[in-house]
């Protein structure tokens, strides 16, 4: 197990002058890294309900439910588009609000 920061965007109603999708992040225990193909890697995280979530290794973005599904997406994906998504993901992570893991998972359920 290793510690890593993950992020997602969650629904935040009634934010004056802001986006309704707020980026949030937290630090979690994760298994990996796992090779996704094409030079991409990811980690597997378990949420408090025991469900697996796949987090991309560079940005920490949540990208799927299983390594197998994400590998399939990567194999079918456009390399340039995926690289651009990683760059965008790093920017989202940089502006995310870092919170405790229990609050993160509770907020994620509200999406």
Query: Which residues pair with residue 2 across a beta bridge?
Result: 30
Tokens 């965007």, residue? 9
CA 101 to CA 8: how far, in whole Å?
12
- Tell me what the pLDDT averaged over the chain comes to: 92
What local confidence, expressed as pLDDT, does residue 40 receive? 96
> What global pTM score does this model have?
0.89
| Residue 110, pLDDT above cutoff 80 | no
- Which of 8-12, 50-54, 82-86 is the least confident region? 8-12
Q: Tokens 């510690």 — which residue?
A: 3
The domain total for the chain is: 1
Structural domain containing residue 68: 2-109
């Amino acid at each position: 197990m290793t510690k890593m920061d993950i992020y997602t965007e969650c629904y935040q109603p009634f934010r004056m002058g802001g986006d309704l999708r707020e980026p949030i992040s937290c630090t979690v225990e994760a298994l990996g890294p796992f090779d996704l193909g094409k030079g991409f890697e990811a980690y597997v995280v378990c949420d408090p309900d025991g469900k697996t979530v796949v987090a991309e290794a560079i940005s920490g973005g949540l990208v799927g439910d299983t390594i197998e599904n994400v590998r399939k997406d990567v194999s079918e994906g456009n390399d340039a588009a995926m690289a651009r998504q990683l760059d965008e993901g790093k920017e989202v992570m940089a502006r995310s609000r870092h919170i405790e893991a229990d609050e993160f998972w509770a907020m994620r359920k509200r999406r």
